[in-house]
Amino acid sequence: MSRVFVAYTGGTIGMVPGAGGFVPKPGEFLDIFNHLDFVGAPELPDFVIEEFDPILDSANMRPTDWNRIASIIEEKYTEFDGFVVLHGTDTMAYTASALSFMLEGLRKPVILTGSQIPLCRIRSDGYRNVVEAMTLAGDYSIPEVCIHFGGRLLRGNRATKVSSAALKAFDSPNFPFLGRVATGFKVRDDLVRRSPHGALKVHSLGRSRVGALRIFPGMEAEILENILRPPLQGLVLECYGVGNAPVQDGKIPAVIESACRRGVVVAIASQCSDGTVDLGGYATSSALAQAGAISGLDMTVEALMTKMMYLIELGLPTDQVKYRLGVSLRGELS
């Protein structure tokens, strides 16, 4: 029988109503889950659940928490066949993207899930998500970091939270689902990454300074200039459409050019979730490329930010960081 390690990091799944809204309550998830009739059913893999201390609303998660998750996976790696990470939905796509880069050489499934409705509520979507994630982690060969939510199995670094209300809260706009679970399990072996060679190598994250800024009509170049000041090392600039920005007065390209000359990495993402950045499609995007910005292609903002952190923290020279941002490392771009 396969063995699955479940890291319970927090999120709505184990929350209860508090004075200011839902809050994670230590022990709540385990209390409810361990008393369910189906726990111990032969369909479920053998599993061990470990509750993090503290458990967090994922809005409070930081790279140090990603490091904790990566470390526990490393510690339990040989003992278990697969891993489930129970996590809040708000930053689940950031954690999944970060882990995909941090866990180099991963050969076992790491499936993140959680719920939109807490387990303490009768309509909770948590039971289904957890049971399905455990099955995927225990019974399938999926050597990558995924999000499984609302019956959709998504590559983690392709996923983004698209709904604060729907039970299918995540989508993967630029890549097909890796699988679907309805009455049965369907996993697309043709899309799942091949198992890499070599041992697992875990990278920590959190020493770099990166940011993101969304362009909007009338945005003054000073806003961009301020955010690009030291100690910032990398910026994801969320532009319009294929990567367009207001460039007519030349101020935004000038600010980008001066930051790039100082060695700051500026990557252009799109405010559209679907499609790819194409710097050069319009004069309003070529100007950014000429200033030294690079294309974020069809990566999610979550993947682009965490990949930038990962590459900067590898200690690579700026031109290498820029080059590798455009190369698929873990299936994060087409």
Residues with catalytic roles: 12
Q: Are the C-beta atoms of 156 and 96 separated by less than 8 Å?
A: yes
Which of 60/226 has CB closer to ligand ASP? 60
Question: Interface with ligand ASP includes 113 (CB under 6 A)?
Answer: no
Please state the closest distance from residue 115 (CB atom) to ligand ASP, in A.
Answer: 7
Preceding omega of 143 cis (within 30 degrees of 0): no
Please state the closest distance from residue 294 (CB atom) to ligand ASP, in A.
Answer: 31
Site mask for ligand ASP (CB under 6 A), range 12-41, x = bound: x-----------------------------
Question: Interface with ligand ASP includes 65 (CB under 6 A)?
Answer: no
Question: Interface with ligand ASP includes 124 (CB under 6 A)?
Answer: no
Which of 88, 246, 292, 331 lies at the binding interface for ligand ASP (CB under 6 A)?
88
Residue 212 forms beta bridges with which residues? 236
Contact segment (CB under 6 A) with ligand ASP among 73-81, 86-94, 224-232, 258-266 equals 86-94
Contact segment (CB under 6 A) with ligand ASP among 57-65, 191-199, 304-312, 313-321 equals 57-65
Which of 12/124 has CB closer to ligand ASP? 12
- In this structure, the strands spanning 170-171 and 160-161 are antiparallel
Which of 39, 59, 283, 314 lies at the binding interface for ligand ASP (CB under 6 A)?
59
Q: Are the C-beta atoms of 175 and 73 separated by less than 8 Å?
A: no
Residue 238 forms beta bridges with which residues? 214, 269
Q: Which two tokens stand for residue 241?
A: 């459409």
Contact residues for 305 (Cβ-Cβ < 8 A; gap 6+): 94, 97, 210, 212, 236
Cα 57 from Cα 24, distance rounded (Å): 7
Which of 11, 14, 109, 156 lies at the binding interface for ligand ASP (CB under 6 A)?
11
Contact residues for 176 (Cβ-Cβ < 8 A; gap 6+): 188, 191
What DSSP string describes 126-165? HHHHHHHHHHHHHHS---SEEEEETTEEEEGGG-EE--SS
Residue 269 forms beta bridges with which residues? 238
Place of tokens 């935004």: 252
Which of 95, 100, 113, 116 lies at the binding interface for ligand ASP (CB under 6 A)?
116
Nearest to 41 by CA among 1, 6, 86, 85: 1
Distances (CA, A) of 121 to 17, 32, 235, 276: 11, 11, 40, 40
Cα 321 from Cα 212, distance rounded (Å): 17
Please state the closest distance from residue 19 (CB atom) to ligand ASP, in A.
Answer: 16
Which of 23, 25, 57, 254 lies at the binding interface for ligand ASP (CB under 6 A)?
57
Which of 57/257 has CB closer to ligand ASP? 57
Question: Interface with ligand ASP includes 58 (CB under 6 A)?
Answer: yes
Which of 45, 114, 138, 234 lies at the binding interface for ligand ASP (CB under 6 A)?
114
Q: Which residue is nearest to ligand ASP (CB)?
A: 88
Please state the closest distance from residue 124 (CB atom) to ligand ASP, in A.
Answer: 11
Place of tokens 């039970």: 167
Place of tokens 């049965």: 184
Please state the closest distance from residue 15 (CB atom) to ligand ASP, in A.
Answer: 7
Question: Interface with ligand ASP includes 90 (CB under 6 A)?
Answer: yes
Question: Interface with ligand ASP includes 150 (CB under 6 A)?
Answer: no
Give the binding site for ligand ASP (CB under 6 A).
10-12, 57-59, 88-90, 114, 116
